[in-house]
Amino acid sequence: MRSAHTVEQVRAAEADLMARVPEGTLMQRAATGLAVAISNFLGGTYGARVVLLIGSGDNGGDALYAGARLARRGAQVTAVLLSDKAHRAGAEALRTAGGRLVTSTPLTGPSADPSATADPSATTAPTAVADLIRSADVVVDGIVGIGGRPGLRPKALAVVQLAERFGVPIVAVDTPSGVDVDTGETPEPHVNAALTITFGTHKICHFIDPAATACGPVHLIDIGLDLPPAEVESLQTSDIARLYPVPHGESDKYSRGVLGLMVGSTQYPGAAVIATSGALGGPVGMVRYVGPDAVAEAVRAAHPEIVAGEGRVQAWAIGSGLGDELDIPRIRELLDAEEPVVLDADGLKALDDSGDHFDVLATPHAGELARLLDVDRATVEAERLKHARLAAERYDVTVLLKGSTTVIASPDGQVRVNTNATPWLATAGAGDVLAGLCGSLLAAGLTPLDAGSVGAYLHAAAANLASSSGPITAMSVAAALPEATRYLLGG
């Protein structure tokens, strides 16, 4: 399990550890890891041209000390000081190691900081910031970390835009500057990193879009923090193996779980076929299809394994592709019954905020969640964690908000995020596969939170396997589920 903690939790853990170790230890641990990661990113250190963007706090301190280490190993390191309060000892360490320090104004380019530079010639012949950035192999973002508010100040924005314009990769220290660290929101301009090196634990912005995309891959350096339970978690391969309901010697098709599927319609028969494929690619022992005869025939033609018509089930998946054939009173009956339910797409219209629905897993995309909360879609997309939590609380259901990063929020406040999907998964019917798969996991006995998070992980893993960086169809994702599962279970 990967964990993401809030800034407040990180600060408390840091204070606790700092009281027990010599001053500066944590920053040295962070800077050492950062220097190694930058060197690995560059594929070597000697002769590499490294530009550090330095703000006013300890984030800049990390970058300066890492820069000093790189300079000692032969890199040409220049720090652009964006604030006159840059970390003094870090700046001194860089200067001593042979690095250069310059100050910057957005329009006139840099001028050497006479109090900080080791190179007196730099005062008389400053290189323009643009030239510095253009010829850099990497730009290191030490503007702000967990102390930052969203947005970049004009000087920082100008330099970051130069790096973007010249296509120079940016490695972010702890967090890409400008994002909202505790929510993953990006209301203001921010750094888009090629790689983010973080310390102690992940932060929420590393997991939740749009900020997660701005982080690029995230590499975690252990600095020895002792942390409380996380606000947000993200399952890893070992968690899938731990949580997946693997059958055993005594299992039969009923004990493995029977799923009822109330999906698809004469308007959208394909949704029924696709959701059934997703369900059969999961752990369930049997699938019962409930719907119009013509649709049941289409499902049976694709999947002779299914049983058509009602009967005992351990869970329901309801809603994908129901279109106009939505029977809201019947769906409400099933929501109130004791079997857990995955509620998808059109079925979400049956949700009301009166009942106790703790065993329901609702699987909206941003547009559907926006309708449930009576806000617009762009608002949900910009503030994904907030709105997933809000809906979980208001409707007393576990909410799985689909998207490039999928957020699963349970009504008791637990949140999991799936970050391993490929954008190729944004294809018609992919949501139907997920609904069937999550239903399968619920029927096999997982809680809505586990079913949603294991389902999202397997769905994305199957998509990656089917895609290999090329186009996929929903059916090819479903078809890849058994192989992806086998791989993740270590088979």
Ligand X SMILES: NC(=O)C1=CN([C@@H]2O[C@H](COP(=O)(O)OP(=O)(O)OC[C@H]3O[C@@H](n4cnc5c(N)ncnc54)[C@H](O)[C@@H]3O)[C@@H](O)[C@H]2O)[C@@H](O)CC1
Ligand Y SMILES: Nc1ncnc2c1ncn2[C@@H]1O[C@H](COP(=O)(O)OP(=O)(O)O)[C@@H](O)[C@H]1O
Stretch that binds ligand Y, among 104-112, 197-205, 303-311, 416-424 (CB under 6 A): 416-424
Check if the beta carbon of residue 11 is closer than 8 Å to that of residue 227: no
One-letter amino acid of 84: D
| 161 forms part of the interface with ligand X (CB under 6 A) | no
Going by C-alpha positions, the residue among 367, 325, 375, 385 that lies closest to residue 350 is 325
Q: Is 43 exposed, middle or buried (0-12, 13-18, 19+ CB in 10 A)?
A: exposed
| 173 forms part of the interface with K ion (CB under 5 A) | yes
Q: Strand 341-344 vs strand 315-318: parallel, antiparallel, or unpaired? A: parallel
Question: Is 148 known to sit in a ligand binding site?
Answer: yes
CB atoms inside a 10 Å sphere around CB 445: 16
Q: How far is CA 481 from CA 183, 334, 353, 459, in A?
A: 31, 28, 34, 7
Residue count at the site for ligand Y (CB under 6 A)?
Answer: 17
Residue count at the site for ligand X (CB under 6 A)?
Answer: 28
Stretch that binds ligand X, among 54-62, 125-133, 288-296, 433-441 (CB under 6 A): 54-62
| 406 forms part of the interface with ligand Y (CB under 6 A) | yes
CB of 481 to ligand Y, least distance (A): 13
CB atoms inside a 10 Å sphere around CB 22: 8
My answer on whether omega of the bond before 210 falls inside 30° of 0, hence cis, is yes
Q: Find the length of the chain.
A: 491
| 201 forms part of the interface with K ion (CB under 5 A) | no
User: Of the candidates 27, 75, 230, 345, which one interacts with ligand X according to CB under 6 A?
Assistant: 27
346 binds, among ligand Y, ligand X, K ion, none (CB under 5 to 8 A by kind): none
Question: Is 432 known to sit in a ligand binding site?
Answer: yes
The residues, ordered by sequence, that sit 6+ positions from 399 with a Cβ below 8 Å of its Cβ are 362, 364, 369, 388, 389, 391, 392, 407, 408, 409
Which residue in the shown chain puts its C-beta closest to ligand Y? 431
CB atoms inside a 10 Å sphere around CB 83: 17
| 219 forms part of the interface with ligand X (CB under 6 A) | no
Buried b (16+ CB within 10 A) or exposed e, 287-306: bbbbbeeebbebbbebbeeb
| 473 forms part of the interface with ligand Y (CB under 6 A) | no
User: Of the candidates 46, 337, 423, 486, which one interacts with ligand Y according to CB under 6 A?
Assistant: 423
CB of 175 to K ion, least distance (A): 5
Stretch that binds ligand X, among 120-128, 142-150, 294-302, 380-388 (CB under 6 A): 142-150
| 409 forms part of the interface with ligand Y (CB under 6 A) | no
141 binds, among K ion, ligand Y, ligand X, none (CB under 5 to 8 A by kind): K ion
Give the interface with ligand X as residue ranges (CB under 6 A). 10-11, 14, 26-27, 30, 55-62, 144-149, 151-153, 173-174, 199-200, 223
Q: Which residues are annotated as a binding site?
A: 58-62, 141, 145-151, 174, 177, 271, 321, 365, 402-406, 431-432
